[in-house]
Structure 1
Amino acid sequence: MEDDILLTANFKQNLQRYWLAAGTVLICVTVVGIPLLLIWFPIGLWATQRYIDNMSAELTAQKLIVRKGIFTRTENTVPLDKITDMALIQDPIMRFFGLHKLTVETAGQSGSGALINLLGIDEVESFRANVLRQKSILEERKRGSETVPNNDQDEALICLRDIAASLGRIETMFAKLEQVKGNDEC
C-alpha cells in the first residue's frame, strides 16, 4: 500500500546562486582553476538547475522520502519512528543567501554525521515542525495500539469480578463443609 503524500518540500531559488558562488570561490582559490571560470558558469548553471529539479522531499504518514542527484540518483526512505534528530544548520554564507541545511539523523545509521542533508528547503522550520509533528502522531498511534482498548478493559474487569464472586462462593461452600464436618465429629 502506497502512503499518501502529506507534504512536499519546495526549494528556494537562491540555492542555485549559493552553489554557483561556492563553486566560483573554490575555482578561484586554485590558480589553475581561474581559466575554468568561463566554462564553470554555463556548466554550473545547467548542473545546479538540473540538481535542484531532481531534488524532492516528501512526508507521508509513516516515512520521509528524499530524492536527489544528477547522474546518480539516490532515494532515501526514512521511517519516521527511526528519526532521532532533525537539526537546522546555517553558516554565514548560507545566512547571506537566506538558506538553511536540514540534517536528519536516525537510530541505527551507520557512520557518523547525518543520514540526509537537505539544503535550501523553502520554509524549512515549518517543514521540520510538520515532520516532527507527524512523528509524534505516529508514536501516539503505536502507543495507543499497545494498550488494551476500553471495551477490552471493561470485559476484563467484568471477568475478574465474576472470578472473585466464584471464589467467594467456593470459600462459603468450604466454610459450610467444615461446619458439617465439625458437627459430625461431635
Structure 2
Amino acid sequence: MTEQTLRNASFDPKVKTYWLINVLIVSGVTVIGIPLLLISVPLVLFISDRMLRAMSATLTERKLVVKRGILFKVEKSIPLEKITDVAMSQGPLMRALGLDRLSFETAGQSGPGALVSLIGIEDAAGFREAILTQKDNMPAAKSVSLPTEPSDLAELTASVKRIEALLATLVKQQ
C-alpha cells in the first residue's frame, strides 16, 4: 500500500555556505586546523554539494521520511503519531544566512535531544505547520472498548471466578 505524498521539502543552497563557515571557524580556532584549511575547504565544497543532493524529507499521510548520506545512506521513517515535538531553531550564523533547523522528537526515543534534525529547509515554518496539521488530522488510534452489556459483564465475572477456583485448586495440590 503506497501512501500519498503530501509535501516534499526542498533545501536552501545556503546550507553549503553554512557548513563551509563552520569548518572555517573550527579550523581557525584549532592550531592544527589552520594548515589543513588548504585541504578541508575544497573538500567541504566538493562534499557539501553531494550531501545537499542526497538529503530529502517527505511528508506522507502517516509518516515523515527523511533520507540523507553519501557513503552511508540513512533513511528514517517517523510515524506522525509518534512525533511529540517539532522544534524550529536558529543560531546567529543561521539567522544571518536565513536558515532554520527543524528538530523532531518522538515518543519512546532513547536519549535526550532530537531524533532527526534538518538544516536549511526552505519555508521551514510551512513544512513544520504541514507536519503538525497532518498529525492533528490523523484519525485517533482505536482504543480498546470495555464490555458494556450486562451479559458481557456477567460472562466476564463467571470466567474470572472459574480461573480463581482453578488457581485455588492448584495451590491446594502443592
Pairwise CA distance, 1:53: 0.6
Aligned to 1:142: 140
Pairwise CA distance, 1:142: 2.7
TM-score, scaled to structure 1: 0.74
CA distance in 1, matches of 2:94, 2:36: 24
The alignment yields a C-alpha RMSD, in angstroms, of 1.5
Aligned to 1:119: 119
Pairwise CA distance, 1:35: 1.6
Aligned to 1:86: 86
Pairwise CA distance, 1:58: 0.1
In the TM superposition, what are the counterparts of 1:64-83 in structure 2 within 5 Å?
64-83=64-83
Aligned to 1:180: none
Aligned to 2:38: 38
In the TM superposition, what are the counterparts of 1:1-186 in structure 2 within 5 Å?
1-138=1-138, 141-142=139-140
Q: Which has the larger radius of gyration?
A: 1
| Structure 1 letter corresponding to 2:49 | Q
**Range with bigger deviation, 61-70 or 30-39:** 30-39
Q: Number of residue pairs matched?
A: 144
Moved over 6 A (4+): none
- Structure 2: which 5+ runs fail to align? 144-174
Helix, strand or coil: the match of 1:31?
coil
CA distance in 1, matches of 2:51, 2:92: 23
CA distance in 1, matches of 2:33, 2:87: 34
**Range with bigger deviation, 31-40 or 96-105:** 31-40
Q: What's the % identity of the aligned pairs?
A: 44
CA distance in 1, matches of 2:120, 2:56: 11
TM-score, scaled to structure 2: 0.79
C-alpha distance after superposition, 1:51-79 (max 9, x if no partner)? 11100000000000000112111111000
- Structure 1: which 5+ runs fail to align? 147-186
| Structure 1 letter corresponding to 2:17 | R
Pairwise CA distance, 1:32: 1.7
**Relative to total residues, which structure has the larger helix share, 1 or 2?**
1
